[in-house]
Structure 1
Amino acid sequence: MRIVTAQELENWLASGEVLEKDGRGPKVIRLNEKQLFKIFRPRRRLWLARLLPQAQRFERNARRLLAHGITAPVVTECLWLNKAQGISGCIYTPLPGYSLEQIHRRSPEEFDSLLPRFAEFIHLLHRRGIYFRSLHLGNVLLLPDDSFGLIDFLDLRFKRAPLSSRLVKRNLEHLRSYLQRNRVEGFPWSALQSAYAKAEQNSKA
């Protein structure tokens, strides 16, 4: 991985548009219309972040998602920002479209119309052995062709077989916890469960 100089990083931060940040600083910066720069700052397991940088894990997950037929951003470069602190970054081509969180916020009716396909998409992930712990409305995009894509998938595991009923239940509970923590009003949870159950039945038919 290439080491980014302090001057280069400063130039990116000065000229780019900060899209996401937290208490530790910028997280996602738009460098231009075709490139985003994502920064990974490990909170724990510093030794692991040095051995397997989070940027490389993100890039690897992107490649594996694409190999599983799931649309994901294409990572063009992984970088070291501060190897001693395990801080890495990557440059990638963003996906077009809107997150389901944005759609639900602006038009609950439009979101409700997407719900059966959203449930089918979750079921597809599970059937392909993909356990996405951070599955939530902000990490799923509706693309221009009306399909779905994933972003922000560092927290991802791939199983050799479809997820067990225990893992499916746990994954859906993560989604429900996200909705409760973020006080997402009017979310049709029962309808999502029913649509997921129908997708499961259809896959067995």
Structure 2
Amino acid sequence: MRIVTARELQDWLEHGTVLEKDSRGPKVVMLQNGLILKIFHTRRHPWLARITPPAKRFAQNAATLKKLGIAAPAIIETLWLDQCKGLSACTYQPLPGKSLETLLREQPTEIDNLIPELAAFIFRLHRQGIYFRSLHLGNVLLLPEGGFGLIDFLDLIKKRRRLNDWEAKRNLGHLRRYLQRRKISGFPIDKLIDSYSATARSC
């Protein structure tokens, strides 16, 4: 992992466009060269973050998805912004597409047509041993050429076996609770679960 100088980071933040931030500062920045800078603020003890840097885990998860044939951002570089604080980052080529959350807001009728394909995509993830706790509409992109891709997958876990029924149900439950928590109406979650079950029965 390359160590970024304070001056280099300041230049990125001054000339880039902050896309996402919280009380700790910028989290996602669009750089002038078109790459995305993703900053990982950790709540863990700094020495733990130094042992297993979030940026490195993010890059490993991206490689795992690519190996499985699942579209994900292409990681360019993993970085240390402040080793003492365990602050890491990575740059990546943004994945083209539109999040399902944006699609639901702009073209709600289109979502309904995509449910069988989305259910098959989630079933494929589970069959390949992917447990993605942050499986929600903001982290699934509809790709320009069709199909789906994933973003923001730091908490993704690759198991050596396919997910069992309890794990799959729990993962879909995360999506339902996300909709409830964000008060997102109009997404046919029950239809998605029914379609998922139908896909599982046919395999």
TM normalised by structure 2 equals 0.97
Q: Does 1:103 align with 2:103?
A: yes
- In structure 1, the partner of 2:112 is 112
- Residue by residue, what CA displacement relative to the aligned partner does 1:121-176 show, whole Å, maximum 9, x if unpaired? 11000000000001000000001111100000000111111101111011011111
Structure-to-structure mapping, 1:163-178, within 5 angstroms: 163-178=163-178
Partner residue in 2 for 1:52: 52
1:18-167 equivalences under 5 Å are 18-32=18-32, 34-167=34-167
Aligned to 1:102, the other structure's residue is in SS state: helix
Partner amino acid, structure 1, of 2:150: L
Kindly report structure 1 stretches of 4+ aligned residues shifted beyond 6 Å.
Answer: none
What SS does the corresponding residue of 1:29 show, helix, strand or coil? strand
| One-letter code aligned to 2:111 | F
Task: Determine the C-alpha separation between the residues in 1 that align with 2:32 and 2:199.
Answer: 39
Structure 1 residue 33: Cα displacement: 5.5
RMSD between superposed Cα atoms in Å: 1.0
* 1:32 maps to amino acid: Q
Task: Letter of the 1:84 partner, please give it.
Answer: C
Amino acid in the other structure paired with 2:142? L
Measure, in 2, the Cα distance between the counterparts of 1:74 and 1:34.
13
User: Match of 1:77, SS?
Assistant: strand
Q: How many angstroms does 1:32 deviate by?
A: 3.3
2:180 matches 1:184: no
- Distance in 1, matches of 2:170 and 2:45, equals 24
Distance in 2 separating the partners of 1:35 and 1:83:
23
Which amino acid in the other structure matches residue 19 of structure 1? Answer: L
**Residue correspondences, number:** 203
Answering whether residue 200 of structure 2 is matched by residue 200 of structure 1, we say yes
Unmatched segments (≥5 aa) in structure 1: none
Structure-1 separation of matches of 2:161 and 2:133 = 17
Which deviations, in whole Å up to 9, do the C-alpha atoms of 1:172-195 show, x marking residues without a partner?
Answer: 111111000000112212111111
Find the aligned partners of 1:142 and 1:32 in 2 and give their Cα distance.
25
AA partner of residue 135 (structure 1): L
User: Does the residue aligned with 1:85 lie in a helix, a strand or coil?
Assistant: coil
Asked if the contact 2:131/2:163 (under 8 Å) is kept, the reply is yes
> How much has 1:46 moved relative to structure 2?
3.1
Letter in 2 for 1:196: Y
CA distance in 2, matches of 1:5, 1:33: 18
**CA offset digits 1:11-67 (Å, max 9, x no partner):** 000100111111111111111353110000101243321101100000000001100
One-letter amino acid matched to 1:123? F
- CA 1:45–1:123 in 2, change beyond 3 Å: closer, same or farther? farther
User: Following the alignment from structure 1 to structure 2, what is the Cα–Cα distance between the partners of residues 188 and 104?
Assistant: 10
Inter-partner Cα distance in structure 1 for 2:146 and 2:111: 12
